[in-house]
Amino acid sequence: MNSSRIGRGLRAIRIRTNLTQQVVATRAGVARAVVARIERGDLACVRVEQLLALAAALRADIDIVLRWNGAELDRLLNAGHSAMHELVVGILTATGWEVVPERSFSIWGERGVVDLLAWHAATRSLLVVELKTEIVEVQRLIGTVDRYRRLAPAIVHDLGWEPVTVGTWVAVAESPTNRRRLGEHAGVLRAAFPSDGRTVPGWLRRPSGSLLALSFLSDVRVANRTAARSSRRRVRAASPAVTGPPGWPNPIR
């Protein structure tokens, strides 16, 4: 990441759009000194969240690319996501849900891919599941999940599902980094997702009303699934527990 180029670029955008540093700082929710520091290219003491917020305030995008051993990082992340996918599908099917994975859509000009859609026919409950191996931008996560929830009835219309209620569950891989990052935005997340891992199991067994939940998936269970998928041996995974810890997601603390 070229700090100088990013700083000069953001400054140029700000000037072109006739905005002062104070106006941009207010929009981004940061101090004006932070804006000045970024524009100078001094990013060593700037949090990633502040940099992304400043770019968003200027309607710009910043892509931070992490590379490791060629394509090995992609394989590692995909393995983690696949392990979470397998674990959550097991939990849902064990409690009587019909699951459709990786459902893509293009509706009214809006496009995307929902990680999992689950249908509980007896109660006509639809559940949108978002899987996150790592948390980068909390506000974008909230916006994405809200958009999926709003569009969900149209996304499943061709399946013949006519939901009475639509719930959302954000399942986050357990890690110190994810806990810290979510902890920094606990108030906003509680408002967007008032339910946590203590609520999810009971709701899945007996859906009643809508669900807006965010919880962690045990890093041990995800790691075990990842290791199993990476192994050359075919090992039959045990059925996921559905009665309580350690099988169920942990709440944010």
pLDDT digits (tens, 9 = 90+) for 67-120: 776 666 666 667 888 889 999 999 999 999 999 999 999 988 888 899 999 999
Across 135-139, 155-159, 161-165, 184-188, least confident range? 135-139
Secondary-structure class of domain 72-230 per CATH:
alpha beta
Inter-residue contact 114 to 99 (CB < 8 Å) = no
Spatial distance between the Cα atoms of 27 and 164, rounded to a whole number of angstroms: 38
Assess whether the region 3-57 and the region 72-230 belong to the same CATH fold: no
Q: In the chain, what are the domain boundaries?
A: 3-57, 72-230
Helix (H/G/I), strand (E/B), else coil: 25: helix
Helix (H/G/I), strand (E/B), else coil: 130: strand
Spatial distance between the Cα atoms of 210 and 216, rounded to a whole number of angstroms: 19
To which CATH superfamily is domain 3-57 assigned? lambda repressor-like DNA-binding domains (1.10.260.40)
Q: What is the overall mean pLDDT for the chain?
A: 84
pTM for the predicted model, two decimal places:
0.65
Supply the DSSP symbol for 236: P
Residue 117: count of CB within 10 angstroms of its CB: 24
Q: Model confidence at 144, in pLDDT bands (50, 70, 90)?
A: very high
Mean pLDDT of 176-189: 89
